[in-house]
Amino acid sequence: MTPEQAARERSLGGIFVFSAYVLWGFLPLYFVSLAPTTPWEVVGWRILLSLVFCVALLAITRGWARMRVILRDRRLMLWTLLAGLLIYVNWQVFLIGTLSGHVVETSLGYFINPIATVLLGVIVLKERLRPAQWIAVGIAGLAVVVIIVAVGSVPWIALALAASFATYGLVKKRIGPSVDAVSGLTLESFWLIPIAVIQLIVVGATTGLTMGHEGAGHTVLLLLAGAITAIPLLFFSAGARRTSLTVVGILQFIAPVMQFLTGVLILGEPMPFERWIGFGLVWIAIAVFAVDSLVSSRRSRMRAIAVVPDPV
């Protein structure tokens, strides 16, 4: 690959990742538009329709050979089961937060997710943090304490989202390139079929299912849940392998910024002064984290250039 082609690939990767995070940023508005559907029904349909969408993609892209390789590997199957359970928790908590008027708190979860990921690397993978990373972790922890004291309640939605998605990312890292995005989401959705069916049965027996009972427009929106789940993930997968982790790390804040603005400006969720202080601390932690990542990436590139021998 020529330098020009490599540069085009990196640019294309950045566009894919940017598109994924923008689509994820619009998710609260999409899910709010599904009212009066409950979070439990939405997740039930989301699981089943994601499976249908991914199976269709496998058929179109002829990805069955990749799937057969995964199915023969018991270790990979167990990892996809764990990934499925983690993404279920993430989806369910996100829907509960979004449809109960806590979009701002869901944005907090994704703001602190990168820091949670780093901390998980220390606990599980025994990785070592740079001083600036420890400072970012400390500031983020202080922010959570401030919010708990000021608001008078634990931001469990934010903490559950950060913990579940950080752990999900760790599992995906363990799986590595052995499981592509489409096959992975297909298996994760497959494992969750019993949960989806049980939730839909319970909702049908209690509050009643809304699918097909709230007008054609609502039905179409609900049927799009599978595509809306899978498309950003596929964009992200296509982009992440083309561009640098630094670009991915910086762009990942697009989604929570959009969710925060949606909650405050569009949905009118309250932001008392004490909550602004908590979010302000989180944003300071993010700034420290981002600057440290950029500086570290630059130093790594400089070291790599320094060890390359001159051409004879």
Measured CA to CA, the distance from residue 133 to residue 115 in angstroms comes to 8
Q: 14: number of CA atoms within 13 Å, CB side?
A: 10
pLDDT at 305: 61
Q: Is 288 exposed, middle or buried (0-12, 13-18, 19+ CB in 10 A)?
A: buried
pLDDT at 51: 93
Query: What is the pLDDT confidence band of residue 14, given thresholds at 50, 70 and 90?
Result: confident
The one-letter amino acid code at 261 reads L
The one-letter amino acid code at 232 reads P
pLDDT at 174: 81
Mean pLDDT (whole number) for 29-57 = 93
List the structure tokens of 55: 């199976």
So where are the chain's domains?
Answer: 3-168+177-307
State pTM to two decimals. Answer: 0.85
Higher pLDDT, 170 or 98: 98
Which position has the token pair 């270790």? 75
pLDDT at 308: 47
What is the per-residue pLDDT across 271-302, written as a single tens digit (0 to 9) for each? 888 888 888 888 898 888 778 877 776 776 67
Query: What is the pLDDT confidence band of residue 135, given thresholds at 50, 70 and 90?
Result: confident
* Max avg pLDDT among 10-24, 107-121, 186-200: 186-200
For residue 36, is the peptide bond before it cis, meaning its omega torsion is within 30 degrees of 0?
A: yes
Residues 6+ apart with CB under 8 A from 61: 182
In the chain, what percentage of residues exceed pLDDT 90? Answer: 41
Measured CA to CA, the distance from residue 125 to residue 110 in angstroms comes to 22
pLDDT at 191: 96
Mean pLDDT (whole number) for 60-87 = 91
pLDDT at 244: 67
List the structure tokens of 222: 């609900």
pLDDT at 45: 95
Mean pLDDT (whole number) for 129-158 = 82
Higher pLDDT, 44 or 250: 44
pLDDT at 303: 67
